[in-house]
Copies of this chain bind each other. A is one copy, B any other.
C-alpha cells in the first residue's frame, strides 16, 4: 500500500454559527498511519474542526474525501458511512449512561454493523481486554472512574474498525492521577499505526507521538510543522506565545 497516499482529505472547510465565522477555509490531509495534533487557544475552533471532519457538524462549505470516495454533505447515507469509518473520542467520554461498558460497545455493532448478538459480544470483550477492562464489562458508566470511562470510549470507537480516529482533548476531563492510563492506551494505538488527529495540550502526547502540530486560532490553521520546530526554542512565529506557555506549564509540572 502506498503510505503517501492520503486516506482523508478535507479541503476548504468553512463553518459559521449565527453569522460568526468559526472555521474559515481549513484544509487537512492525513496519510495512513499519520498522527496530527491540534493545539491553540480555547475557542479557536479545534472541536468544531474535528466534528466537521466526521460531519457531526455539517460544514457550510468544503469537500471531504475519504479513501478516494467524496462525501455528499447533504446525503444522510453518505454521512452515516463516513462516520462508520471515522471513530471519535470526546473530552467527556459520552458513554451511553443507560448501558453497561459491554453494551456500550455491542449496541453500535448490532445496530450499525448488523452483527448478531453473540458475535458483537465476542468482539466487545476483545476490545475491552485490549484496553485492560475485561473485568469491568458489566459495570455502568457511573460506576467507572474517569480513566476507565475514557478507555471504554476508546474501545467502543475501535470496535467499529475505523480507518481514522478523532480525539478531542481525551485527557483534559481527567484527574491528574488518572491521565496516565489513557495516555498509555493512546500511545499503544500510535505504535500499532492508527491514523489519528487529536486536539490536546498534553505535552507528553505532543512530544512523543505527533508527526505534525497544527496551531489553530480564530478558525484558521495559522501554523503547522513538526513538534521539534514549533515547540523548539528558536520559534519566532505567531504561535510562539502559546507554545511558550505550554512549555512553561510542562516545566512547572516537572
Contact = CB atoms under 8 A, between A and B. Distances in A.
Contacts of A253: 203-204, 250, 253-254
Given A42-B145, A175-B172, A180 B252 contact: yes
A253 B233 CA distance: 17
Contacts of A175: 42, 169, 172, 201
Interface string A218-254: 0000000000000000000000000001001111111
Contacts of A42: 145, 175, 177
Q: Chain A interface: which size bin?
A: 20 to 34
A252 B176 contact: no
Contacts of A169: 175
A245 B203 contact: no
A58 interface: no
B176 A202 contact: yes
A249 B179 contact: yes
Contacts of A204: 252-253
A27 to B, nearest CB: 25
A183 interface: yes
A220 to B, nearest CB: 19
Contacts of A202: 176
A95 B42 CA distance: 22
A179 B245 CA distance: 11
A203 B254 contact: yes
B201 A177 contact: yes
A172 to B, nearest CB: 5
A95 to B, nearest CB: 19
Contacts of A177: 41-42, 201, 245, 249
Best-surrounded residue of A169, A172, A251, A253 (most CB of chain B within 10 A): A253
Interface in A169-191: 169, 172, 175-177, 179-180, 183
B254 A176 contact: no
A224 to B, nearest CB: 20
Given A41-B177, A176-B202, 17 more contacts: A42-B145, A42-B175, A172-B175, A172-B176, A175-B201, A176-B201, A176-B249, A177-B245, A177-B249, A179-B249, A180-B245, A183-B252, A203-B254, A204-B252, A204-B253, A253-B254, A254-B254
